[in-house]
């Protein structure tokens, strides 16, 4: 079965996987209901066994989709292959073996399901390519049924209109699904573009770090125990006055790269404004002070190629239980100025809340 890779984790992939999961759950419920009613519906033992196998298959596919979302296309391709083969076999059996079709049998209602599964599993062109042989196969069975010498004329005439209407309905399904696929792709592209623009709006355009708006969002959801490293560049005005603003901007980018290299996974670093930056650290003040020290050491070991060594003054504050995050930030700011007064190129820990 033809497959075309859909980018994992994209809005389109999430949509397709969720749709396929819903289809599989509906099939599971339908199969279970049919199996429970097999007595009143006079379902034969062979069909009951097949229903039981379908029930297990549907349950397995649901578990697969749930546990490994990235493999939804593989699950869909397997389901689509099974439905196409089962549909063609069933209609061959009804039309060319039993010759007992009336209205093409109750199974004909399920023959349109492969189009839905294909539309959820594959992009538009690939879905169309996958189901076209299926439609041609159904049409071929209809022609063979019409030409079969063993079919009574009355039965052939009785089913001719039903077969034609079914083929027209399937063709309509293919056209609608193809159009719907195109519209869905445009919608997914628009959503991804909007998300990308929204993310870019929260980034500082110079350094690529989260900007002040993004940092405010992170601070608003900050838990107790989070620590803040508030730092700025020492004598940054002198860099701009001596080397110009282009070099000054490159120094800011240099510091941003050093900060990314120095923080741990799960910590966040952003540009607060001007030459001021924030690091949000998962841990107490001592952990945050070590992160700040690691950043200072990195800058000492990697001077800027034009401006030379870059030093920082850092203020560290840990958020205490019940403390408003703005108060934590204010204490970090006070510690930053204490580091300036202490001679710069150092780290100062903030006094606890309420301390004189």
134-141 long-range contacts, CB within 8 A, separation 24+: 134/84, 134/87, 134/88, 135/167, 135/170, 135/171, 135/174, 137/84, 137/88, 138/87, 138/88, 138/91, 138/111, 138/166, 138/167, 138/170, 139/167, 141/88, 141/91, 141/92, 141/95, 141/96
- Contacts within 8 Å (CB) and 24+ apart, 297-302: 298/258, 298/261, 298/262, 299/255, 299/258, 302/258
Q: d(Cα 340, Cα 346) in Å, to the nearest integer?
A: 8
Residue ranges in the chain assigned as alpha helix (H) = 11-36, 45-67, 72-92, 113-121, 124-147, 153-201, 212-220, 236-243, 245-262, 285-301, 325-341
- Active-site choice (12, 79, 83, 275): 275
Q: Is 275 a catalytic residue?
A: yes
What does the alpha-carbon distance between residue 314 and residue 182 come to, in Å, rounded to a whole number? 53
Task: Return the residue matching tokens 């073996």.
Answer: 97
β-bridge pairing 276-282 and 346-349 = unpaired
CB atoms within 10 A of CB 154: 8
- For residue 42, give the DSSP letter: T
What does 148-172 look like in DSSP terms, one character per residue?
Answer: -TTS-HHHHHHHHHHHHHHHHHHHH
Q: Give me the active site residues, please.
A: 275
């Amino acid at each position: 079965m033809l497959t075309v890779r859909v980018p994992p984790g994209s809005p389109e992939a999430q949509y397709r996987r969720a749709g396929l999961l819903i289809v599989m759950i509906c099939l599971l419920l339908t199969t279970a209901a049919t199996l429970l009613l097999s007595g009143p519906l006079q379902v034969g033992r062979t069909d009951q066994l097949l229903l039981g196998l379908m029930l297990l298959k549907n349950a397995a596919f649901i578990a697969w989709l749930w546990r490994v979302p990235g493999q939804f296309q593989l699950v869909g391709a397997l389901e689509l292959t099974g439905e196409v083969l089962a549909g063609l076999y069933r209609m061959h059996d009804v039309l060319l073996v039993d010759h007992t079709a009336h209205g093409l049998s109750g199974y004909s209602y399920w023959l349109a399901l492969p189009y839905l599964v294909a539309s959820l599993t594959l992009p538009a062109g690939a879905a169309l390519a996958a189901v076209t042989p299926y439609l041609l196969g159904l049409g071929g069975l209809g022609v063979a049924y019409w030409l079969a010498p063993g079919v009574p004329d009355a039965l052939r005439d009785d089913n001719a209109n039903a077969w034609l209407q079914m083929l027209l309905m399937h063709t309509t399904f293919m056209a609608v699904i193809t159009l719907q696929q195109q519209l869905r792709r445009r919608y997914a592209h628009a959503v991804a573009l909007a998300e990308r623009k929204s993310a870019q709006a929260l980034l500082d355009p110079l350094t690529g770090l989260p900007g002040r708006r993004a940092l405010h969002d992170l601070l608003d959801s900050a838990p107790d125990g989070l620590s803040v490293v508030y730092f700025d560049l020492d004598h940054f005005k002198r860099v701009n006055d001596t080397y110009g603003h282009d070099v000054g901007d490159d120094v800011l980018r240099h510091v941003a790269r050093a900060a990314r290299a120095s923080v741990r996974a799960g910590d966040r670093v952003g540009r607060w404004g001007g030459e001021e930056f924030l690091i949000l650290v998962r841990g107490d003040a001592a952990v945050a002070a070590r992160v700040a020290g690691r950043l200072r050491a990195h800058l000492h070991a990697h001077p800027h190629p034009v401006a030379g060594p870059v030093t920082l003054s850092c203020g560290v504050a840990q958020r205490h239980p019940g403390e408003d995050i703005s108060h934590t930030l204010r204490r970090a700011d006070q510690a930053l100025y204490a580091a300036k007064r202490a001679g710069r190129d150092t780290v100062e820990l903030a006094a606890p809340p309420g301390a004189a």
